Amino acid sequence: MSEKDDNSAPNRRNSTGSSDDANLDQRLEQLKSKLEQVRPADSDGKSGRNGGTGPGDKAGIGQAFRLSSEFIAGVVVGAGIGYLVDTFFGTSPWGMIVFFLLGFAAAILNVMRAAGMVAESQMRLKPAQEMHNQRQDGESDEAAKK
């Protein structure tokens, strides 16, 4: 930027100082009144977000701990398996690198499953669905015999 640009900004602020302050104060008051209308107040006068810890906050904290422990466990298990592979086969550092990355990928997948962003694998559900379908077929055969 040129010297002219640097010097022009403070001069503009100083020339309209009091009117800008009054305008800002007025806009701030309007914003506060709009927020009071939109935001529901608690019985003790605190807002929902800034108030104490309610049941929703505790559930959120519990989910955060669960997700973080899922992630940490995946990475630690991957690194541990990599260390064991390196120790037994003498492949240092490649086993640690490969299994650390696999553990990281597994940790991401576990966190996404726990958060509900990824559905369970259909392969896991397939035997249960087949059993359910066979059971329904057996029930329909019994109903037809009656």
> Is the pLDDT assigned to residue 119 strictly greater than 80?
no
Q: Please, are residues 83 and 96 in contact by the beta-carbon 8 Å criterion? A: yes
Choose among 40, 44, 108, 47: nearest CA to 74: 108
Domain regions of the chain by residue span: 3-38, 64-145
With a pLDDT cut of 90, the percent of the chain lying above it is: 37
For residue range 67-118, what is the model confidence (pLDDT) as tens digits?
Answer: 999 999 999 999 999 999 999 999 889 999 999 999 999 999 999 998 888 7
